[in-house]
Structure 1
């Protein structure tokens, strides 16, 4: 089994770097062939954050009836970056911009598929780099599993990402990782 790991995300460092490195070690010890992979966003000429408004437009469409009825005011969280404001702002996204952004989205999907043509799945720190945004935009399936605790017993996770319509392989790898660890059975004190 060839498992890619997003090199840039693992190289970010931070308080979770030891847990992330340990996840790779568990996979290696379990017989996985680890391959460093990265997204070539620079060559592609796409900054994923410039496409994030697509997700806002889709959320706005899903909640349009709630927004136009004025019942979005009944949602509890009404701060600047809360969902109700995202739903409201989405009503003003120009259709032409949305269509152009989706053309770039297709290039992003092709880029992720190209990476996944070299490996069966890839692993990344759950909040490392732009991966969460990228997979939200591309629709690639992602499984999040626990991989330890940070300071003060704060749970931490690692993510496995698979190819489109290849969920079986992805779930098999995530389960194998969980079977090789006990993090999914461990809970912070007081729970």
Structure 2
């Protein structure tokens, strides 16, 4: 059950995923990818009776994004595929992690209940900040899930293309989180 408090977030208590889709004439040749952030941290301040006093922040190491799963093709992702995805996400084309090592989210407003909530905030990717809205649900046992749809080009990210543009990732990606348990911020790590 979600109670008032300040909670620490990170890979030990939650998963942070990005899910891509395919577009273009060659979309059957590629994979829909699930990419996971492996190094990130955050904090949630929860005031159940007054959600407007609640807040959420998170910082993701952009270089920690790794392609874990690929669906939509008969052939599974290989280790070489995963290594290429990591290279592509980093400096080669998309996130330019050397210049922009972190992705951040800072809430500006929280509304709803622990069972159904919305978090509006500022998402910064590649040094560009734009508003983003996260939709979430809680199950009463402390499990929280949420999602936001992000249009890559808004943040200056050119969706990945191959085969002269016949295969490309869709501009919209789904960012998802799943919090398995909340850890009080004052508890030892």
TM over 0.5: no
Answer with 1 or 2: which has the greater Rg: 1
Question: Structure 2-normalised TM-score?
Answer: 0.23
More strand by share: 2
More helix by share: 1
